[in-house]
């Protein structure tokens, strides 16, 4: 099929060591792909992005307004992870850049790590292993517990929280959860009306919230005070959520019996780097370098999921599962041109667009519109005979953000 822009000129940039399967899929589509193992600072990325059509990142790369000012050719961003808080979604939408993530692909990996860490913390496995590595035989059942019969409190009952709920219950735990949005309970899990209520009943608390600003330091001194004595805390969500100094104080006082932290307020830009945190060398604390979703299976799933949706968007205009643009799911057009018009969602735009179509006596064979509060996305399939001035007038409309044509 012929496209409005040659595929061999649709440059792709993949950062942060994205799984090679992603590059293979994009190259198989005919796109030239450049791979960079680490992330780029704002100024570096702002320069690098000038001729990029498709950008792939993970959690360390920040997509800011400054970066987007230089992204004149950018069609889509793939977040090869769950979260998108590292991307200015409003700014990308205002430039007509579609953002896709992988909301389900590494769910199981995070859940399995959380379950394993609960068991390791309640059995004090890491402390006993360290002692034996040092030549100390310290066989004791003191402060070593089964997870069966214990209560698990899940903060954030999304995809990960729900699957964790099911697996934990199958292992004999009683599950409670708290979410700011109403969520249907899985199995025998019980919803809590407040965070305080959840903390009062939980032997283990596992956090699975997103990185929005209002979640910053949501877990600090007040929340630790509300927890049960000798309870456990896991954070595999976002580094900004937990006040690590407050956690350290509660570990030292004995209020918290164990903790597992996978994410941190400030993380290195590179995969291998020196790093310090106030929790290092504390007893019964598991520290991992943001690897909750880092399994071979998860990375392969993500490397399949994200490129597939980006390719569909480039080839057909299909915005299904975009996190920032209105979602339209369409197949490839047949015997027609497809005009993809992203515009500001203001009154009268559709009337102006259709006036242009009528002016040039266009035969519309299909038209599809979706909107959100800020953006409208209109896909129009027309017969093959039309005046090129149609495109010029659509581009010149005051509220046009981006226009593409697929032949």
24 is a catalytic site residue: no
Could you tell me if 340 and 406 are in contact, meaning their C-beta atoms sit under 8 angstroms apart? yes
pLDDT at residue 147 is higher than 80: yes
Which stretch of DSSP H or E encloses residue 245? helix 244-253
Q: Is 238 a catalytic residue?
A: yes
Q: Which domains does the chain have, with CATH numbers?
A: 1-105+295-324 (3.40.50.720), 107-287 (3.40.50.720), 333-407 (3.30.70.260)
pTM for this prediction:
0.88
**Catalytic residue, candidates 29, 42, 112, 267:** 267
Output the pLDDT for position 2.
43
Count other C-beta atoms under 10 Å from residue 23's C-beta. 19
Helices and strands (H and E) in the chain: how many: 13, 16
Between vectors from CA 33 to CA 29 and to CA 36, what angle results, nearest 5°? Answer: 145
Q: Cα separation of 97 and 402, whole Å?
A: 9
What is the rounded distance in angstroms from the CA atom of residue 51 to the CA atom of residue 302?
25
206-255 pLDDT, tens digit per residue, is 999 998 889 999 999 999 999 999 999 999 999 999 999 999 999 999 99
Of 290, 338, 341, 404, the catalytic one is 290
N-terminal to C-terminal alpha carbon distance within the chain: 8
SS3 state of residue 52: coil
The Cα–Cα gap between 198 and 227 comes to: 9
Instruction: Count Cβ atoms below 10 Å from residue 59 Cβ, excluding itself.
Output: 22
Say what the pLDDT of residue 334 is: 79
Based on the residue annotation, tell me whether 267 is a catalytic residue of this protein: yes
Q: In whole angstroms, how far apart are CA 189 and each of 177, 199, 236, 258?
A: 7, 15, 20, 24
Q: Helices marked H in 134-182 — which ranges?
A: 159-170
Say whether pLDDT at 4 is over 90: no
Catalytically annotated residue among 19, 60, 124, 238: 238
pLDDT digits (tens, 9 = 90+) for 26-84: 999 999 999 999 999 999 999 999 999 999 999 999 999 999 999 999 999 999 999 89
């Amino acid at each position: 099929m012929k496209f409005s822009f040659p595929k061999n000129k649709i440059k792709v940039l993949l950062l942060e060591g994205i799984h090679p399967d992603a590059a293979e899929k994009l190259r198989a589509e005919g796109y030239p792909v450049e791979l960079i193992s680490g992330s780029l600072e704002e100024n570096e990325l702002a320069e690098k992005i000038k001729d990029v059509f498709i950008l792939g990142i993970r959690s360390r790369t920040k997509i800011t307004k400054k970066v987007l000012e230089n992204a004149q050719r950018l069609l889509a961003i793939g977040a090869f992870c769950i979260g998108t808080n590292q991307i200015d979604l409003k700014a990308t939408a205002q430039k007509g850049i579609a953002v896709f993530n992988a909301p389900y692909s590494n769910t199981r990996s995070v859940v399995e790590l959380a379950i394993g860490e609960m068991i390791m913390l309640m059995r004090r496995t890491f402390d006993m292993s360290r002692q034996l590595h040092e030549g100390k035989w310290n066989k004791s059942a003191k402060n070593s517990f089964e997870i069966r019969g214990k209560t698990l409190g899940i903060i954030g009952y999304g995809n990960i929280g729900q699957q964790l709920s099911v697996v934990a219950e199958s292992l004999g735990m009683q599950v409670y959860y708290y979410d700011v949005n109403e969520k249907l309970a899985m199995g025998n899990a019980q919803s809590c009306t407040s965070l305080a209520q959840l903390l009062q009943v939980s032997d283990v608390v596992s956090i699975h919230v997103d990185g929005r600003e209002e979640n910053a330091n949501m877990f600090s001194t007040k929340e630790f005070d509300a927890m049960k004595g000798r309870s456990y805390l896991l954070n595999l969500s976002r580094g900004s959520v937990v006040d690590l100094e407050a956690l350290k104080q509660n570990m030292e006082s004995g209020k918290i019996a164990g903790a597992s932290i996978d994410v941190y307020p400030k993380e290195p830009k590179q995969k291998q780097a020196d790093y310090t945190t106030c929790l290092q060398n504390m007893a019964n604390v598991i520290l991992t370098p943001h690897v909750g979703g880092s399994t071979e299976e998860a990375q392969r799933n993500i490397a399949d999921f994200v490129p597939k949706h980006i390719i569909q968007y480039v080839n057909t205009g299909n915005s299904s599962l975009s996190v920032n643009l209105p979602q339209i799911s369409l197949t490839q057009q047949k015997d027609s041109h497809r005009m993809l018009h992203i515009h500001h969602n203001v009154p009268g735009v559709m009337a102006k667009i259709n006036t242009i179509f009528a002016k040039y006596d266009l035969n519309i064979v299909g038209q599809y519109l979706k909107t959100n509060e800020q953006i409208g996305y209109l896909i129009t399939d027309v017969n093959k005979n039309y005046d090129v001035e149609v495109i010029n007038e659509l581009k010149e409309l005051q509220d046009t953000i981006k226009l593409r044509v697929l032949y």
